[in-house]
């Protein structure tokens, strides 16, 4: 099993992911994506969008605002229930999420249950805990002209939240889409975007951070058809994870969440778990939200959320199937799968065996020697030809050819194309495969 620290090191060394605000000492729970990371992340999101939206006739995309009317979070239940169990060490004053530092407890743990685990503080090693307190994870802010010396009542009227999920932006636009497009049931609304959660103790690299990107669908179905649509979406999730982004089937596990552990809106939830380097963690979720959200919106807004069937004339409030996945969690699962160490000619090699559809670069073009103008000129011609056909091309003429190969292996480039003196004679190039290191001669016209 790959070690998480090896993947973190590769990400920093090769420009995939940097610690947030690193130049100022960092900022816990935040990460910045470098040139290769942002490209890989975009390709992951594009692959999801193509599979679930562009290749289907029953999906519609939206992009809702991050700042929403505070009533949104009252209706959704986030204001009252979006909280984690916080516990504080009385000795060193460190604070932790209780269910993440103790064994065999969940998010609804009580103080008595936590103390019974005899967990020691990860910082000072003492066992002297305060009571469990519920900590709401929504980031709050103020909208409008609110000054530091304004009274609390005035400030409270202007409070807003950074959205903790993208789902509510979809639900609040359900009626807009129905009124403008009037799609047939079942249909889905899909969104990709930022979400913010004030995690008590962000950890495990990008697995649990305070700013993340989500990809979510709210799939609106007839109440009597939720089970068959739930099963169809479950199979679609497996197809995407295993066939499109090439995660190994044996590392994906379904966990049927028991009623006492499900979110307040869910009547059924399957968590898709993945074997990360640090252990099994949630990769994505699939939830049956019933009509919870639309009923709450109708109550808070005073507007009808009913849908009228165009064929039967039946009036109903649709129920909802929700597949939801965090981009960062999928990003890390793909990296963990791709990260490989092997030996080539008795020399250790690190190679990122990314699927070709996700690799930041499809090809790297190189002249065998950068001090030979004729080779550089020809290599530039090949580079321009491929650039017109494929956008994901890079150029590398630094160091010897062996070092270039190693660098491209580490960033996951599937093929290296080398222009040498034979190229000038017969218009063929050497194509070297990342995974096998096999080299073949191919005509430029056949690239």
Condensed to tens digits (0 to 9), the pLDDT of residues 76-122 reads: 888 777 778 899 999 999 998 898 888 888 878 899 999 999 999 99
Does 372 lie in the same domain as 238? no
Does 391 lie in the same domain as 282? no
Does 201 lie in the same domain as 320? yes
Question: Does a structural domain hold residue 252?
Answer: yes
Does 284 lie in the same domain as 401? no
Condensed to tens digits (0 to 9), the pLDDT of residues 331-379 reads: 999 999 999 999 888 889 999 999 999 999 999 999 999 999 999 999 9
Does 398 lie in the same domain as 249? no
Does 167 lie in the same domain as 24? yes
Q: Please, what is the average pLDDT of the chain?
A: 92
CATH of the domain at 317: 3.30.930.10
- For residue 225, give the nearest of 320, 347, 112, 367 by alpha carbon: 320
Does 310 lie in the same domain as 367? no
State yes or no: pLDDT of 313 exceeds 60: yes
The encoded tokens of residue 204 equal 């495990």
Question: Does a structural domain hold residue 41?
Answer: yes
Question: Does a structural domain hold residue 100?
Answer: no
CA distances from 185 to 16, 91, 226, 268, 294 (A): 41, 57, 11, 21, 15
pLDDT score recorded for residue 303: 93
DSSP 145-179: S--TTS-HHHHHHTEEEB-S-SHHHHHTTHHHHHH
State yes or no: pLDDT of 429 exceeds 90: yes
Does 331 lie in the same domain as 366? no
Q: Which of 301, 335, 369 is the last residue of a domain?
A: 335
Does 313 lie in the same domain as 376? no
CATH of the domain at 375: 3.40.50.800
Torsion sign, CA atoms 98, 99, 102, 108: positive
Structural domains counted in the chain: 2
Q: Which domain, by its residues, includes 370?
A: 361-446
Does 298 lie in the same domain as 178? yes
pLDDT score recorded for residue 383: 94
- Residue 256: beta bridge partners? 270
Does 328 lie in the same domain as 263? yes
């Amino acid at each position: 099993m790959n070690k998480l620290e090896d993947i973190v090191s590769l990400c920093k060394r090769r420009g995939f992911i940097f610690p947030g605000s690193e130049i100022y000492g960092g900022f816990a729970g935040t990460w910045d994506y470098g040139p290769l990371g942002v490209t890989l992340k975009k390709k992951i999101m594009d692959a999801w969008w193509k599979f679930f939206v562009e290749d289907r006739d029953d999906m519609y995309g939206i992009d809702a605002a991050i700042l929403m009317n505070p009533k949104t979070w009252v209706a959704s239940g986030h204001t009252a229930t979006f909280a984690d169990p916080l516990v504080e060490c009385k000795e060193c004053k460190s604070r932790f999420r209780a269910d993440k530092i103790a064994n065999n407890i969940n998010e609804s743990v009580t103080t008595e249950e936590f103390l019974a685990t005899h967990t020691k503080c990860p910082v000072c090693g003492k066992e002297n805990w305060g009571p469990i307190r519920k900590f709401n994870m929504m980031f709050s802010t103020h909208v409008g002209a609110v000054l530091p010396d304004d009274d609390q009542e005035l400030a409270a009227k202007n409070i807003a939240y950074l959205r903790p999920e993208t789902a509510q932006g979809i639900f609040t636009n359900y009626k807009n889409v129905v009124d403008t497009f009037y799609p047939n049931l079942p249909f889905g609304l899909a969104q990709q975007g930022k979400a913010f959660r004030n995690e008590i103790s962000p950890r495990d690299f990008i697995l649990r951070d305070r700013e993340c990107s989500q990809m979510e669908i709210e799939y609106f179905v007839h109440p009597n058809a939720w089970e068959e649509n739930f099963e169809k979406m479950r199979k679609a999730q497996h197809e995407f994870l295993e066939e499109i982004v090439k995660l190994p089937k044996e590392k994906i596990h379904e966990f049927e969440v028991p009623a006492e552990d499900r979110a307040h809106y869910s009547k059924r939830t399957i968590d898709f778990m993945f074997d990360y380097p640090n252990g099994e963690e949630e990769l994505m979720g699939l939830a049956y939200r019933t009509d919870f959200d639309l009923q709450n919106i109708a109550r808070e807004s005073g507007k009808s959320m009913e849908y009228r069937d165009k064929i039967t004339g039946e009036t109903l409030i649709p129920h909802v199937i929700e597949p939801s996945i965090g981009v960062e969690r999928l990003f890390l699962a793909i990296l963990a799968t791709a990260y490989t160490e092997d030996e080539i000619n008795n020399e250790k090699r690190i190679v990122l065996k990314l699927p070709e559809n996700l690799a930041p670069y499809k090809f790297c073009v190189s002249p065998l020697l950068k001090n030979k103008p004729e080779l550089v000129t020809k290599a530039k011609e090949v580079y321009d030809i491929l650039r017109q056909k494929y956008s994901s091309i890079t150029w590398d003429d630094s160091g010897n050819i062996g070092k270039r190969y190693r660098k491209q292996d580490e960033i996951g480039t599937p093929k290296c194309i080398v222009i040498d003196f034979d190229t000038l004679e017969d218009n063929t190039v050497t194509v070297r495969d990342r995974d096998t290191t096999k080299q073949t001669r191919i005509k430029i016209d056949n690239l």
